[in-house]
Chain A
Amino acid sequence: MSAEAHYTRYHPQWYRRRVSVWWWLQSWRYTKFVLRELTSVFVAFFAVITLWQLRALVDGPQAYTQFVRGLKSSPLVAVHGVAFLFVLFHSISWFHLAPKAMVMRLRGKRVPDWVIVGLNYFAWLIASGTIAWLLLRG
């Protein structure tokens, strides 16, 4: 291959690399990022399910039982399982990013990142605990 046809003396002949559509497979860190972005679909999925559930609740006991029965079908349980894993991944990766977006200062010193991450996990535990208690106490 010859570039002489292109090259003109004193004129830059830069080589520009095109970013391939597979750029996110190039390193695990990029892949993780793209996964994190994709997982938002599953977060949305849960949000939609919850809205549905609410509507069923509003529509009366019969509609609700039907809705719950629908949820118990095994393909949907499988989907839920997968979705749960992705949402877990989503939350964890966001927790770890939280200290970047929120810089907190206490008495002039920056609160270390691990404290902020820890607080997020703590809040999560409390929330999950409360819900579990609400659901399981009966």
Chain B
Amino acid sequence: MDVFSRDVLVVGGGGAGLRAAIAVAEANPRLSLAVISKVYPMRSHTVSAEGGAAAVIKPEDSFDEHAYDTISGGDWLCDQDAVEAFVKEAPAEMLQLEHWGCPWSRQPDGRIAVRSFGGMKVERTWFAADKIGFHMLHTLFQTSLKYDALQRYDECFVTRLLVDDGRCRGVVAIEVATGRIFAIAAKTVILATGGCGRVFPFTTNGAIKTGDGMALAYRAGAPLKDMEFVQYHPTGLPFTGILITEAARSEGGWLLNKDGYRYLQDYGLGKPEPKPVLRSMELGPRDRLSQAFVKEQEKGRTFEGPYGHYVHLDIRHLGEELIDRKLPFVRELCRKYVNLDPVKEMIPIQPVVHYMMGGIHTDIHGATPLPGLYAAGEVACVSINGANRLGSNSLTECLVFGARAGRAAAGFAAEQKESNPAVFAQASDEQKRLEESLLRKTDGKERIASLREEMQKTMEACAGIYRTGAALQQAAQDLHQLQERFHDLRLEDHSYTFNTELTGALELSFMLDVGEAIVASALARRESRGSHQRTDHPQRDNEKFLAHSLAYRTPEGLPRIDYLPVTITRWPPGQRVYGK
């Protein structure tokens, strides 16, 4: 088996991974550095982000305002030291991206333009029309090409972390194009593999967002934090789940039920005004908006379509000129995928799984409890998002904590000695496992797709917008059974060349682990907070649950839940007030 060795290995070529890699290259150009990614970096799902990225820039804004919006938006489950570091470093990171060429939208005098966003009290969301993730990712990728020290393993799928002597020492991966299995021994590994929306059936997330990094770390002994907090975005297109960005509402779009009524006013989100009001109505936080949809559906005030219930997002009154200038992608997507022009018609939308607040537990420098292992981006939980992320905070998070993890990992790597040969035995074990249990496996009767569908249905039924203990209990059992059935997988593809059935199987097994962690964490949290709403425990309970849940994998494979207190610096828990 081939073994390569690197000082720092970044797993993932999305916003967080590329930012981390550049930070390593700048912090210490002498380190050998590589980015490994299961798809070409510019295919990473960061590419699909539409709305914008938050950072304080206006004179009337302040770090404290941004911090407060973030903390109250996260229902006080954010670590406030992390949030403070985040808001302070955000503007410099965004400027850095500007210096690297990101085509941010501008004011007439050439300065950066900002827009409002849900749950934010001041306009502070930087944007590039409505393709901000795309521009960010390509800017980072193209800039990364200028660092010769940065080596890439494109389309290489990481299957396992190598751990020895209580430290992470590298990875095993498959080169998808040839089926070659190899190991990279690394002094530090930074996981930046993104989220896991594909655990659910209806999501804005691309096919590659299967929680790989979360499962990799979880299996290697690092805990997953706050996994019960799954964000539903209120405005997805039916069937495809394609996101209609929050920017459509921040520019002034309305949510209307089937009677043409702006129903959010019935859910404590303020009074309807013709112009958008910050932190009010359509600009409330995502958890509240998605929950209001369910209530509206229960009252029978939503439309019924072939792909479930929906309501309308109306942006017609914004006019064609503004839509083309600021929301061109929204128009493009609507025309293409629902065959209507939002300049003239209302857009059907429904809540859709969007983002994982939870992830691998890290400290404020991106370090996980497993020495040598760092994490950043959606895969990590630092935690600045608490129980509900505010739109446009996560792209900035990728930059701020990507850079922090990169610098910290570079520092750590410089102090380490060469890797320990004990890990090579582990690597060949992994190779054997992959070949025997998957590539050369000819028996079995379960199809990947059927197991995946069952898993997704289970997750939607129990871990959706509203949850109950009974349903979660049932789901835990069902997932366990799916884990058993996974061993009886039938694979039709035994080729070594670009075998996407093999990667599909590996992704499914990652998702099953992540699903179990989500369900166990949700079951253990007997309160309602942010995006986690238990109908059997409808109140927030600061006594018992002002704490992060930590899911550890037990030797039997099941999760064990522990808690860690939330760090509070200056903002004691209060009520979340919107629309006032």
* Cβ–Cβ contact B179 & A9, under 8 A: yes
Quick one: which of B130-179 are within 8 Å of A by CB? Answer: 175, 177-179
Tell me which residues from 1 to 28 in chain A have a Cβ below 8 Å from any Cβ of chain B: 9-13
Interface secondary structure of A, over-half rule: loop
Shortest distance between the CB of B435 and any CB in chain A (Å): 11
Determine how close the nearest CB of chain A comes to the CB of B220; give it in whole angstroms.
27
Number of interface residues of B (CB under 8 A): 7
Query: Cα distance A13–B495 when bound, in Å?
Result: 12
Contacts of A12 in B (CB 8 A): 177-178, 497
Asked if B180 is at the interface (CB within 8 A of a chain A CB), the reply is yes
In the complex, which residues of chain A have a beta carbon less than 8 angstroms from the beta carbon of B496?
9-10
Complex Cα–Cα for A32 and B497 (A)? 39
* B514-553 interface (Cβ within 8 A of A): none
Please, which residues of chain B bring their CB within 8 A of the CB of A10?
A: 175, 178-180, 496
A11 CB to nearest chain B CB (Å):
7
Q: Write out the residue numbers on chain B whose beta carbons fall within 8 Å of the beta carbon of A11.
A: 178
**Chain B residues, Cβ within 8 Å of A13:** 497
Q: Across the two chains, which residue of chain B brings its CB closest to A13? A: B497
Q: Which residues of A are found within 8 Å of B179, using beta-carbon distances? A: 9-10
Number of chain A interface residues as a range: under 10
* B177-196 contact mask (Cβ, 8 Å, vs A): 1 or 0: 11110000000000000000
For A11, give the chain B residue with the smallest CB separation: B178
Write the nearest CB–CB distance from A112 to chain B, whole angstroms: 14
CB distance from B210 to the nearest CB of A (A): 25
Instruction: Give the CA-CA distance A9 to B181 in the complex, in Å.
Output: 11
A10, B179: Cα distance in complex, Å: 6
In the complex, chain A residues whose CB is within 8 Å of the CB of B177: 12
Greatest chain B CB density within 10 A among A10, A11, A12, A13 is at A10
Q: Smallest Cβ distance from B3 to chain A, in angstroms?
A: 15
Least CB distance, A4 to chain B, in whole angstroms: 13
Chain B min CB distance to A7 (Å): 9
**B residues 206-255 in Cβ contact with A at 8 Å:** none
Q: Give CA–CA (A12, B178) in the complex, Å.
A: 6
User: A6 to nearest B CB, angstroms?
Assistant: 13
For A9, the chain B residues whose CB sits under 8 A away are 179, 496
A13 to B496, CA, bound (A): 11
Report the Cα distance A12→B179, complex, angstroms.
9
Q: How far is the CA of A10 from the CA of B497 in the complex (A)?
A: 8
Task: Write the nearest CB–CB distance from B184 to chain A, whole angstroms.
Answer: 16
- Give B325 Cβ to nearest chain A Cβ, in Å: 12
Nearest Cβ on chain B to A12's Cβ, whole angstroms: 6
Report the minimum CB–CB distance from B236 to chain A (whole Å). 34
Closest to B180 in A: A10
> A138 to chain B: closest CB distance in Å?
56
Smallest CB–CB gap between B242 and chain A, Å?
A: 29
A119 CA to B98 CA, complexed, in Å: 39
Closest approach, in angstroms, between the C-beta of B365 and any C-beta of chain A?
A: 38
CA distance A87 to B179 in the complex (A): 55
Q: Which residues of A contact B (CB under 8 A)?
A: 9-13
Q: Can you pick out 12 interface pairs between chain A and chain B where the beta carbons lie within 8 Å of each other?
A: A9-B179, A9-B496, A10-B175, A10-B178, A10-B179, A10-B180, A10-B496, A11-B178, A12-B177, A12-B178, A12-B497, A13-B497
With contacts A9-B179, A12-B177, A13-B497 known, what are 8 further pairs, Cβ within 8 A? A9-B496, A10-B175, A10-B178, A10-B179, A10-B180, A11-B178, A12-B178, A12-B497
